Structure 1
Amino acid sequence: MHSDDLPDDESLTIRGYTDTAARQNVLLIACGALAREILDLKRRNGWDHLALTCLPAILHVHPERITQAVEDAVARHRNDFDRIFVVYADCGTGGLLEQACKRLGVEMVKGPHCYSFFEGNDRFAQHGDEEATAFYLTDFLARQFDAFVWKPLGLDRHPQLRDMYFGNYTKLVYQAQIDDPELTKRAKDCADRMGLTFERRFTGYGDLERTLSDWASRVPRD
């Protein structure tokens, strides 16, 4: 995908992102951390009937705010689209987002979080307790590690606190959505900074792609 087609870092972390065009009758309300992946899938599959609006990815630092933000977005766009889908998993809401989506009559992505649906929920569940001490990165987090992990924990100011935060982890698992040596290098650097062993696991888009494909196929195009 060309860089001109992608949202910039500020859009992802602060403002959110919206991709709309004429004749779109389905809206995806998504986490900004998934914007690049969704835009790529839209382009590759010709899903021009799917519009996209992303809530700021920084909400992941405050999962208690996600449910209300999604509810507000559904209410704001309800009258403008035939169908609305929510491209979030539970994402730390403790089931509240699922309850809200059922009440609002909209579907959401299945799974506890994006690490699970990128790998595939069934496959991720098979890891069980063996990965209870794994810290996960996606492509987005490899790009935004400082903004979403290092600085919010204050490690840019107090690096001596590293072991207090990460002492119970044993490895960093980088779930790569695309094959990008530069992102792999960044993820390896994150593991080194955290004092963890490094594992790269190519997942592609996993259940995210399968879910969007299902939704896109259920809605006729104009």
Structure 2
Amino acid sequence: MTLVNVKPSEEFEFLNGQGHVLLIACGALAREIVDLIEVNRWKAFDVACLPAKWHNTPQYIVPGIREKIRANKGRYKSIFVLYGDCGTGGLLDKLLEEEGVERIPGPHCYAFFSGNDAFKAKEDDDITSFFLTDYLARHFDKLIWSGMGLDRHPELLPMYFGNYKKVVYIAQTRDEDLARRAMAAAKRIGLDYEYRFVGYGELADEMKTRA
């Protein structure tokens, strides 16, 4: 596999030709997934990523995953989904139960990167926090600022972010440039800023058990 600069609008696949486990993942996780595969030299996986921009339109997630599962079910020993519920309101889990496919536990990537138990323990404190991952810090302008229309309608800023108090950047890597970008994003939307290094969290653990 080759690491690429994943764009928010892209749908793409990483195929090593040897994989017997298909990972169906959000494009926002692609860089981390490929990093883990390359660092650990895992040969078991092929990866199909759906567009990260669906963070803003979660109604596309379930149909997209259904299509990927049904197109590939006979080609792989197993399929594993690397998505949280991600705003599908339980519909993703209903689909996966029907298809006999499992997913990584957690409501969204912020939880399984942080560790679901650790995330839940801070749930009350973080109820007014807006989370950024490495990917979202890297693509804030494209995915959040432009993706939510704030470049064209800045007057919408209070409607989108008026109930938040801070941006929490949960970092997968120790990258000073991304930390600066996350801090700038917080300033841009008028929120306090907090940095937490969490690494790959349960994403790495779940992949390891299936490698």
Aligned twin of 1:86: 81
CA distance in structure 2 between the aligned counterparts of 1:150 and 1:132, rounded to whole angstroms? 21
**Residue type matched to 1:6 in 2?**
L
CA offset at residue 41 of structure 1? 0.5
Aligned twin of 2:41: 46
Cα-Cα RMSD: 1.4
CA offset at residue 47 of structure 1? 0.9
Structure 2 counterpart of 1:150, from 127, 145, 151: 145
SS in structure 1 at match of 2:73? helix
SS in structure 1 at match of 2:43? coil
Structure 2 counterpart of 1:7, from 4, 9, 34: 4
**Residue type matched to 1:15 in 2?**
E
Identity of aligned residues (%): 46
CA distance in structure 2 between the aligned counterparts of 1:152 and 1:89, rounded to whole angstroms? 21
SS in structure 2 at match of 1:103? helix
Aligned twin of 1:186: 181
Quick check: 1:28–1:86 contact (8 Å CA) kept in 2? Answer: yes
5+ residue gaps, structure 1, are 217-222
Structure 1 counterpart of 2:16, from 3, 16, 21: 21
Query: TM-score with structure 1 length normalisation?
Result: 0.91
5+ residue gaps, structure 2, are none
Runs of 4+ in 1 over 4 A off after TM superposition: none
**Residue type matched to 1:26 in 2?**
V
Task: Please tell me whether residue 140 in structure 1 is matched to residue 135 in structure 2.
Answer: yes
Quick check: 2:6–2:27 contact (8 Å CA) kept in 1? Answer: no
Query: TM-score with structure 2 length normalisation?
Result: 0.95
Q: Deviations over 1:132-151 (max 9, x none)?
A: 11010000000111122111
Quick check: 1:17–1:35 contact (8 Å CA) kept in 2? Answer: no
Instruction: Considering fraction of residues, name the structure with more helix.
Output: 1
CA offset at residue 162 of structure 1? 2.0
Q: Deviations over 1:53-85 (max 9, x none)?
A: 111111111111111110100011112111111
